[in-house]
């Protein structure tokens, strides 16, 4: 009976010691402080005109490539129709030139044969020099007319190519009149309303991907040796009722040069003159994390009163 009682007492003592270790882990002091941030993208108008539609509201989430708005394109559409009409007219002239060139080709071939025949007659003195000159002149005129036709066709071809280039530019402007979400993200701020006239470059709304936020913290030079790229770390945020929620993150960036400590950041002891910034990617499960939210960074865990900082 005494042996059983002794074993029970020892078990309780070990359990109590385990709870003390766990309590030490939960209350371990943070290694750094920081705030959450995200890569924010401002979507601006790429063409000028009246805003006809903008289907975005703050907090709305869109996938990449989704059309969310439209700038008035009436003037551009009319200009495009004019360019298409000019191109069709130029192409019609090309057809006429080709038909005239075919006729001149036949006439020139006949004139060349007449020149050869006249030369043979002159060789046997069966034709006059006047006849030979006339045949040469007629052939030369047809050659010049054919060269002029070919030059005209080249000019028309260049005109068609120029119109095609203008149409491509017009189509690009029409495409840019469509406001498209550049990536998957959540709308943070909307700047304009439907009916406003916007210029190219006018900010329309701002969005950011909030599925994973970046926790930016600052470490001293002494702490820098405890962190490496890809390392898994703990980030703690306020969970209410004087409790902290522990999140797992991954170190994605470490500054290559020191900087002065930002004003809002305080170390656990005192402000340090220079620190190194680090970024930790933290999954935003449930959307509970917010841009600007403060947090604490822990590089390791406390085991038996000693901090384990291995990656």
Say yes or no: 137 and 279 in one domain: no
Query: 168-191: per-residue pLDDT in tens?
Result: 999 999 999 999 999 999 999 999
Answer whether residue 11 is part of any domain: no
187 and 62 in a common domain = yes
Domain for residue 6, yes or no? no
Are 163 and 217 part of one and the same domain?
Answer: no
pLDDT of residue 7: 34
Query: Are 47 and 193 in a shared domain?
Result: yes
Domain CATH for 65: 2.40.50.100
Each as own residue / partner, the long-range contacts of residues 303-309 (CB below 8 Å, 24 or more positions apart, any chain) are 303/21, 303/25, 304/21, 305/24, 307/28, 309/226
58 shares its domain with 204: yes
Beta pairing class for 178-180 and 67-71: antiparallel
Q: The domain containing residue 61 runs over which residues?
A: 41-73+178-208
Answer whether residue 14 is part of any domain.
Answer: no
Domain count within the chain? 3
* 160 and 94 in a common domain: yes
- Residue 73's CB is within 10 A of a number of other CB atoms, namely 21
Domain co-membership, 264 together with 294:
yes
Do 68 and 78 lie in a common domain?
no
Whole-structure pTM over 0.85, yes or no?
Answer: no
Do residues 204 and 283 share a domain?
no
- pLDDT score at 19: 34
Q: Identify the CATH number of the domain in which residue 266 sits.
A: 2.40.30.170
Q: 234 to each of 248, 252, 290, 291, how far by Cα in Å?
A: 5, 14, 17, 18
68 and 117 share a domain?
no
Q: Which residue, 175, 198, 231, sits at the end of a domain? A: 175
Is residue 258 included in any domain, yes or no?
yes
Domain final residue pick, 118, 150, 175: 175
> Which pLDDT does position 262 carry in this prediction?
65
Distances (CA, A) of 187 to 31, 55, 248: 33, 11, 26
Per-block average pLDDT, block size 10, for the chain (311 residues)? 36 39 53 93 94 94 94 91 92 85 84 82 80 82 85 88 93 94 94 95 95 93 89 91 90 89 55 81 91 90 41 40
Whether residue 85 is contained in a domain is answered as yes
Q: Is residue 58 part of a domain?
A: yes
Residue 121 in any domain: the answer is yes
52 shares its domain with 92:
no
Residue 16 lies in a domain: no
Examine the domain organization and report whether 215 and 304 are in the same domain.
yes
């Amino acid at each position: 009976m005494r042996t059983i009682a002794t074993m029970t007492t020892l078990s309780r003592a070990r359990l109590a010691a385990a709870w003390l270790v766990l309590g030490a882990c939960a209350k371990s002091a943070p290694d750094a402080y920081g705030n959450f941030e995200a890569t924010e993208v401002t979507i601006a108008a790429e063409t000028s005109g009246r805003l006809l539609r903008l289907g975005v509201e703050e907090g709305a989430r869109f996938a990449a490539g989704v059309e969310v708005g439209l700038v008035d394109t009436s003037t551009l559409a009319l200009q495009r129709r004019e360019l298409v009409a000019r191109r069709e007219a130029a192409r019609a002239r090309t057809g006429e030139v080709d038909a005239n060139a075919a006729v001149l080709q036949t006439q020139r071939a006949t004139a060349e044969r007449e020149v050869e025949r006249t030369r043979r007659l002159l060789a046997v003195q069966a034709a006059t020099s006047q006849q030979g000159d006339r045949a040469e002149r007629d052939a030369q005129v047809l050659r010049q007319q054919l060269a002029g036709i070919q030059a005209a066709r080249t000019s028309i071809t260049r005109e068609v190519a120029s119109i095609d280039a203008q149409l491509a530019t017009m189509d690009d402007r029409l495409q840019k009149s469509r406001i498209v979400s550049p990536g998957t993200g959540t709308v943070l701020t909307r700047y304009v309303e439907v009916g406003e006239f916007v210029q190219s470059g006018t900010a329309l709304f701002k969005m950011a991907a909030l599925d994973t936020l970046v926790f930016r913290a600052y470490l001293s030079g002494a702490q820098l040796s405890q962190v490496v790229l890809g390392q898994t770390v703990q980030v703690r945020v306020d969970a209410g009722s004087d409790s902290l929620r522990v999140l797992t993150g991954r170190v994605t960036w470490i500054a290559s040069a020191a900087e002065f400590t930002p004003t809002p950041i305080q170390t656990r002891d005192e402000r340090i003159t220079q620190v190194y910034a680090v970024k930790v990617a933290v999954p935003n499960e449930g959307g509970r994390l917010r841009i600007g939210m403060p947090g604490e960074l822990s590089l390791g865990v406390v085991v038996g009163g000693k901090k384990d900082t291995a990656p």
